[in-house]
A and B are shown apart, each in its own frame.
Chain A
Amino acid sequence: MAWEPHIFKDLHQIPREEHVFPGTPLCAGCGGLESLRLASKVLGSSVVYVNAAGCFTNLASFPFTPLDASWLYTTMGSAPAGAQGVRDALMC
């Protein structure tokens, strides 16, 4: 699926559909979570998020995930390599 860059000039232009849902174990008002929520509005749901150790470790805590996209949690510093493995294999 081709992905087009979007430029939003005011808040009203941001898509209303949600891909990150409430009820995560992250702190109330987490700026990182808000960033992810906004990014997901552009990325949509056909995405694999690959995340390494940090606060987002707790984003998907068994058996819950707040995402309607896929999630892979890797060790510190290896998120790009995990993403590469997923991408490479899906393109095989």
Chain B
Amino acid sequence: MDQKKQMMTGNLAAAWGARLAEVDYVPAFPITPQTEIVETLSQWCGNGALNARFVTLDSEHSMMTAAGAAAATGARVFTATSSQGLLQAFEVLYTVAGWRVPFVLVNVSRALASPITLEPDHNDVLAARDSGFVQIHAETCQEVVDSILMAYRIAEDQLVCLPVVVNLDGFYLSFTREPVLVPDPEQAKLFLPAFRPAHLGFKASAPHALGTAVLGGSTYSYFRHQIHLASMNALDVHQEASAEFERLFGRRYDVVEGYRLEDAEDVLIMANAFASKGKAAVDAAREEGRRVGLLRLRMIRPWPADAIRRALLGRRAVAVLDQNLSPGQGGILFQEIAACLYHEALRPRALCSFIGGLGGKNISEGEFRAIFEQTAEAGVRGTGVGPVLLYTEAEHREMEQLQFLAHDLKTGR
């Protein structure tokens, strides 16, 4: 291992991202599994390692408002939340995206209540899919710190000027130590110069009205269209930021990541930390002679349709493993993948939808094997399957035991 690498949690890596970006302001509210991020930043603000103002607010709703309002003055703002906290801030997400204020929010994914739990899936962050925030989803702790630096660069680009959410999985990244190379602060400054916005600078002595009402749909539509077009610009801006990041730090991140795709007949699509399990499953399947690969979605808003098409056209079959569930519909990402392939003559012969990893539930080697088998069969047959709700027999037996116990406790028998 490189000498300079340190073992650190995803949460500490996220805090390092904010520190290297030399943020000015951190409005905070705690929530498991995110709290370690704001605790670390609070310590650094206290001991002078980070020259930022740290303020605790009374809720995530207030926290997100303060973040947007501070960013409107031209300050560089960082904040973090998770799960119920993100939903508590929900109406403000849309509002601050409409203010066109660039700041970075880290969401540490955790499944939503109810039933309430602590471990991750992506129903929290994907609920914010239509808010106007750019979304970057990280697979490793290294990618967390790197993505936060890239996120500021994208958010602050005048072609984008939108808030960015960087997502990492609770527990699997937030509390898991991985080797991380913390970018050199001087190099980080070259990558991300001080924020000098010409278009922001909300202050009393220069009258400015922000968040004003509009009268009528045509004015409203104009500003909503602007948010869409700005978000689409983030695809090119990400590419430019990615090239510069690679030049300075030697690590490259694209909007999607292909793993063993070169000669793959069938492709499995995943996002976030569980993609590491998927890559291991691809390796295992390859050893059994299956020509499979994995496509990891890193940027989910804007939706990188062209990059996805390039990776998937001409394949036999594609399986989307959604770590989320839209009740009454199925996998959220499956729908988006299907939509962007519909008009392609060379689209895969079958699309399969699997739902797994809800509430941090493991996806076993056996389940991955079943996914690859069913996907291959679907490709041969020419018809997809799903949504398949992954649940093993062992898990089902365990659940039955709990139900028997609940029944016994209730009835006293």
A interface list, Cβ under 8 A from B? 25, 45-48, 50, 57-58, 60-62, 65, 67-78, 80-86, 88-92
In contact, A61 and B213 (Cβ under 8 angstroms): yes
In contact, B69 and A83 (Cβ under 8 angstroms): yes
Compute how far the CA of A75 lies from the CA of B215 in the bound complex, rounded to whole angstroms: 18
Compute how far the CA of A88 lies from the CA of B77 in the bound complex, rounded to whole angstroms: 11
- In angstroms, how far is the closest chain A Cβ from the Cβ of B160? 20
- Is B339's beta carbon under 8 Å from chain A? no
**Can you list 24 residue pairs at the A/B interface with Cβ under 8 Å?**
A45-B207, A46-B205, A62-B215, A67-B207, A67-B209, A69-B204, A70-B204, A71-B209, A71-B210, A72-B202, A74-B69, A75-B61, A77-B61, A78-B62, A78-B65, A81-B58, A81-B69, A84-B27, A85-B27, A86-B70, A86-B72, A89-B24, A89-B25, A92-B75
In contact, B55 and A84 (Cβ under 8 angstroms): yes
In contact, A86 and B202 (Cβ under 8 angstroms): yes
- In angstroms, how far is the closest chain A Cβ from the Cβ of B138? 26
The total of Cβ contacts below 8 Å across the A-B interface reads 132
- With both beta carbons as reference points, the residue of chain B lying nearest to A67 in the complex is identified as B207
Main secondary structure on A side of the interface with B: mixed
Complex interface residues of chain B between 194 and 233 (CB less than 8 A to chain A): 202-215, 219
- Report if A65-B70 is in contact (Cβ < 8 Å); known contacts: A71-B212, A78-B61, A92-B24: no
- Report if A72-B62 is in contact (Cβ < 8 Å); known contacts: A46-B204, A86-B70, A88-B70: no
Compute how far the CA of A80 lies from the CA of B24 in the bound complex, rounded to whole angstroms: 20
- With both beta carbons as reference points, the residue of chain A lying nearest to B206 in the complex is identified as A70
In contact, A81 and B53 (Cβ under 8 angstroms): no
Which residues of B lie under 8 Å from residue A80 when comparing CB positions? 62
Which of A61, A74, A83 sits near B95, CB closer than 8 Å? A74
Which residues of A lie under 8 Å from residue B91 when comparing CB positions? 75-76
In contact, A82 and B66 (Cβ under 8 angstroms): yes
Which residues of A lie under 8 Å from residue B58 when comparing CB positions? 81
- Is B57's beta carbon under 8 Å from chain A? yes
